[in-house]
Amino acid sequence: ENETAINWMLWGLVSDHFDVDPYQTALELNLMNAEPRWGQDERFVVVTTAA
């Protein structure tokens, strides 16, 4: 996966939906191994953890 692309996608999702600093929040999400995902009419972030 392209790390830069994931950072930009997370930044876009945060900036569209929350009134916070999108860069810092997207960075924190990325550090938690979050991945942006899209459905037919929705966008969301998935955070997975190791078992």
Average pLDDT over residues 36-50: 76
**C-alpha to C-alpha distance for 49 and 51, rounded to whole angstroms:** 6
- pLDDT score recorded for residue 35: 83
What does the pLDDT look like over 18-40, one tens digit per residue?
888 888 888 888 888 888 887 88
Mean pLDDT to the nearest integer, 3-13? 78
CB atoms within 10 A of CB 15: 15
Residue written as tokens 């924190």?
A: 28
Residues 6+ apart with CB under 8 A from 47: 29, 32, 33, 34, 35
**What confidence category does residue 6 fall into, taking pLDDT thresholds of 50, 70 and 90?**
confident
50 has pLDDT over 70: no
pTM, to two decimals: 0.63
